[in-house]
């Protein structure tokens, strides 16, 4: 579970939460199986019983147990949102072939970010440990989540037979420039569709040298004199990106690029009246 990056005075409380969550999740009985199990462990008596044979951890419990109520309050929104969806009978990534999660990010934006944090924490544990075959993770409308922890998964996934697809309307809506740079640096293939602001992605295709000619004029007439010189220009003209038709895109990989037409999914058949 991601406690988050805290700074200043908040770091003290974040470290207390982290210490308690470690005690709860690393207990000899194994990690909690669902949120009901988690709530039952937010109790000093449970922790003392679980670690009764570990004198060192018993000392730690004595030092931090007074923060259990604060942790319970911090966890309540998460538990309230997901207690009916995360349970013992639910699927796990190592047993499911395909999983689709759909959430209305416009109406429950904070909840959607929490969901992605929970999923990403499980994905990080799944990666390289429980994983038995190559895995593809697709996050549509990534800008609605602005999740930096998923970027870390993207960075580590290449060595674990992972493919991660992050789809967004525009890179400008993801967040700060540093985050956009990290995402672009860790993705091998970029698919650039029509946008009025292609400046973050288009130039990644690189440049090519072209011969540029200029002609001398005198009193409105061409003199017959001129010069020619090599100039660099973008392989993907940015104006062309803005004019792409639906389904058209530029695919960029390691400075190579190609203009492609994606196959269109036919519309659903009308329902008879």
Instruction: Please tell me which residue, 145 or 200, carries the higher pLDDT value.
Output: 200
5 belongs to a structural domain: yes
273 belongs to a structural domain: no
70 belongs to a structural domain: yes
Q: Give strand pairing partners of 208.
A: 233
| Residues in contact with 188: Cβ distance below 8 Å, sequence separation at least 6, in sequence order | 253, 254
Percent of the chain with pLDDT over 70: 92
Residue 59 in this model has a pLDDT that exceeds 80: yes
Give me the number of domains the chain comprises: 1
Instruction: Please tell me which residue, 212 or 175, carries the higher pLDDT value.
Output: 212
- In this prediction, residue 109 has a pLDDT band, given cuts at 50, 70 and 90, of low
131 belongs to a structural domain: no
118 belongs to a structural domain: no
pLDDT of residue 273: 64
pLDDT of residue 237: 92
pLDDT of residue 169: 86
Round the average pLDDT of the chain to a whole number and report it.
83
- Backbone angles phi and psi of 234, in degrees to 5: -60, 135
Residue 260 in this model has a pLDDT that exceeds 70: yes
Mean pLDDT (whole number) for 194-221:
88
Alpha-carbon gap, residue 273 to 266, rounded angstroms? 21
1 belongs to a structural domain: yes
Q: Give strand pairing partners of 165.
A: 138
Percent of the chain with pLDDT over 90: 28
Residue 6 in this model has a pLDDT that exceeds 60: no
For 12, the 3-state DSSP assignment is helix
Q: Which among 143, 145, 127, 124 is positioned nearest to 135, based on CA atoms?
A: 127
Which range (117-121, 133-137, 181-185, 230-234) has the least confidence? 117-121
- In this prediction, residue 57 has a pLDDT band, given cuts at 50, 70 and 90, of very high
Alpha-carbon gap, residue 168 to 128, rounded angstroms? 27
**32 CB-side CA count, 13 A:** 21
Q: Give strand pairing partners of 227.
A: 214
b/e code 98-126 from CB counts within 10 Å (16+ = b): eeeeebebeeeeebbbbbbbbbbebbbeb
Can you give the residue range of the structural domain that contains 31? 1-90
* Long-range contacts (CB closer than 8 Å, 24 or more residues apart) made by 42-51: 42/68, 42/71, 42/72, 42/75, 43/68, 44/68, 47/23, 51/23, 51/27
210 belongs to a structural domain: no
pLDDT of residue 269: 79
For 230, the 3-state DSSP assignment is strand
For 163, the 3-state DSSP assignment is strand
Mean pLDDT (whole number) for 169-183:
84
**95 CB-side CA count, 13 A:** 4
Q: Which among 94, 86, 161, 91 is positioned nearest to 125, based on CA atoms?
A: 94
pTM: 0.68
| Contact by Cβ (8 Å): 165, 137 | yes
259 belongs to a structural domain: no
């Amino acid at each position: 579970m991601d406690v988050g990056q805290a700074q200043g005075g908040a770091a003290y409380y974040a470290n207390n939460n982290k210490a308690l969550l470690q005690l709860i999740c690393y207990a000899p009985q194994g990690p909690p199986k669902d949120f009901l199990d988690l709530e039952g462990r937010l109790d000093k008596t449970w922790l003392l019983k679980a670690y009764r044979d570990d004198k060192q951890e018993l000392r730690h419990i004595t030092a931090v147990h007074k923060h259990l109520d604060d942790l319970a309050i911090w966890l309540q929104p998460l538990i309230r949102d997901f207690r009916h969806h995360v349970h013992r009978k639910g699927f796990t990534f190592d047993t499911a072939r395909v999983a689709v999660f759909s959430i209305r990010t416009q109406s429950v934006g904070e909840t959607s970010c929490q969901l992605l944090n929970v999923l990403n924490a499980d994905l990080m544990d799944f990666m390289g440990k429980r994983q038995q075959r190559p895995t593809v993770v697709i996050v549509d409308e990534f800008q609605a989540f602005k999740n930096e922890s998923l970027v870390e998964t993207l960075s580590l996934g290449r060595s674990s037979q992972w493919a991660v697809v992050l789809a967004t309307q525009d890179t400008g809506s993801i967040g700060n420039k540093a985050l956009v740079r990290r995402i672009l640096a860790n993705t091998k293939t970029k698919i650039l569709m029509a946008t009025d602001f292609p400046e973050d992605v288009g130039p990644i295709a690189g440049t090519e040298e072209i011969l540029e000619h200029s002609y001398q004029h005198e009193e409105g007439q061409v003199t017959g004199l001129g010069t020619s010189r090599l100039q660099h220009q973008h392989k993907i003209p940015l104006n062309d990106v803005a004019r792409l038709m639906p389904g058209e895109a530029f695919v960029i990989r390691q400075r190579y690029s190609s203009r492609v037409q994606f196959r269109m999914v036919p519309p659903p058949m009308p329902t008879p009246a």
